[in-house]
Structures are given as C-alpha cells and as structure tokens.
C-alpha cells in the first residue's frame, strides 16, 4: 500500500475516488448484490399482497443511517447467556 501511495498522484487518487463513487467494489457492493438476490427471491415467493423488500432490508446499513451502537454486555450478562445456552443444550454448569 505504501508503494502505491508513493506512486499515485493526488489527481490520480481523486480519479479513483470518483470512479469508486460511480462503480463501487468490495464487500459493500457484494452485500448489495446478495441483498438484491435475496430480496428478489423473497418478493417472488411471497404473497403478492405482502410488503415488498429491497436489498437494504436484507442487509441493514446498505442504504440509510447506520444503526445505533449496541451497549457492551457486562461480564455477568455474558455468564448468564452462556449458562442459558448450556442448559438449553442439556449441559450442566458449576
């Protein structure tokens, strides 16, 4: 990456940024494509009166504001969660 940045002029960098805005690539674009496919299948296979969904309904954050940050769980909350999972699977805990 350092080598690329040392050879790239500011003008070239701006061109790449502009190109990315027109034709994005990477994980976000892949999520959009998967979301589009899932939404298409859902919309085709559900009742015609059902609410139609889009890619942003499958992958929140693709379009619109980011969800609010979640509160970190305390150690006690994590222990209780793990005890519940253990008990649900038939295990025991001390």
pLDDT beyond 60 at 65: no
CB atoms inside a 10 Å sphere around CB 32 = 18
pLDDT beyond 70 at 67: no
pLDDT score for 70? 77
CB 28 within 8 A of CB 62: yes
What does pTM read for this prediction?
A: 0.46
pLDDT score for 19? 85
CB 93 within 8 A of CB 86: yes
Alpha-carbon distances, residue 94 vs 82, 85, 87, 90 (angstroms): 12, 14, 11, 14
Q: Average of pLDDT values for 64-78?
A: 76
pLDDT score for 81? 85
Q: What is the DSSP letter of 26?
A: S
CA–CA dist 32, 55 (Å, integer) = 6
């Amino acid at each position: 990456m350092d080598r690329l940045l040392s050879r790239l002029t500011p003008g070239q960098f701006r061109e790449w940024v502009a190109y990315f805005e027109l034709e994005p690539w990477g994980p976000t674009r892949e999520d959009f494509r998967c979301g589009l496919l899932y939404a298409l299948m859902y919309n085709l296979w559900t009742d015609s009166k059902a609410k139609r969904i889009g890619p942003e309904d499958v992958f929140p954050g693709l379009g619109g504001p980011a969800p609010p940050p979640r509160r970190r769980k305390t150690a006690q909350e994590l222990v209780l969660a793990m005890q519940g999972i253990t008990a649900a699977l038939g295990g025991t805990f001390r």
